[in-house]
Amino acid sequence: MGEFVNLEVTDGVGTIRLDRPKMNAISLAVQAELRAAAAEATERDDVRAVVVWGGGSVFAAGNDVKEMAGMSYADMVAASGPLQGAVTAIAQIPKPVVAAVNGYALGGGCELALAADIRVAGEKAVFGQPEVLLGIIPGAGGTQRLARLVGPAKAKDIIFSGRFVKADEALAIGLADQVVPDAEVYETAHAWAAQFSSAAALALRAAKESIDRGLEVDLGTGLEIERQQFAALFATDDRTAGMTSFVENGPGKATFSGR
């Protein structure tokens, strides 16, 4: 249990909850706690999927500008790796991850949402990368993940202008995957995550790694990553259980152990 970030587990779903009043500004302390929560969610066998949530009012309104304002170039050379690493730690959780976005997801908050596999947004959610308005650029993955998600032209428009993106536009360009009433954001995200509570965990891990690593390389290399992951799953108990159940009982009835 951290001061600002907690991991709570219910029925196979781990919720990484940001709670730093009043806007969930991502400070150095929050970054460290995000890395710790991601590591715990990765290690725990009772966590099959993860929801990242900032509460019903705001997801995260950005990195802590007051903290950064007093930092020198030398300070940021040292701090930029851990800053980026906090978001990357969420992206590298080898389980399905959904961001439940209420209110503002700006700057570092938007980058945190981008690290999830999908994003469920409330009707009043607002995304944005306004760093240029501070004389800097996104530094925790925004220039890379946003461009890969919505395409370089849309990412450049959003990052160059620093403008806010409301929920309806976010849905239209693929920045959000689902928009629901604000009061239903967490419930909807949790329900998406809960569908994996009894799934074949190693197959999900292999699928996520194949997709994520494949996006970083050429097609031939991506196909080789997929081939190796595919073959490796034949060494798992879940593959045996899944195929035996299919042959004997038809599809969708297997009981998986996650081994």
Q: C-alpha 37: how far from its chain's center? A: 13
Mean per-residue pLDDT for 78-105? 96
pLDDT (average), residues 18-30 = 94
Distances (CA, A) of 225 to 207, 208, 218, 259: 10, 11, 11, 21
Work out the angle at residue 195's Cα, subtended by the Cα atoms of residues 215 and 209, and round it to the nearest 5 degrees: 20
Residue 178, strand partner residues: 120
Write out the two tokens for 53: 């949530």
Residue 248: pLDDT band (50, 70, 90) is: very high
Domains of the chain with CATH codes: 5-194 (3.90.226.10), 201-249 (1.10.12.10)
Mean pLDDT across the chain, nearest whole number? 96
Q: What percent of the chain has pLDDT over 90?
A: 96
Instruction: pLDDT band for 1, please (50, 70, 90 cuts).
Output: confident
User: Considering the entire predicted model, what is its pTM?
Assistant: 0.94
SS3 for 1-22 is: CCCCEEEEEECCEEEEEECCCC
Q: How confident is the model at residue 148 (pLDDT cuts 50, 70, 90)?
A: very high
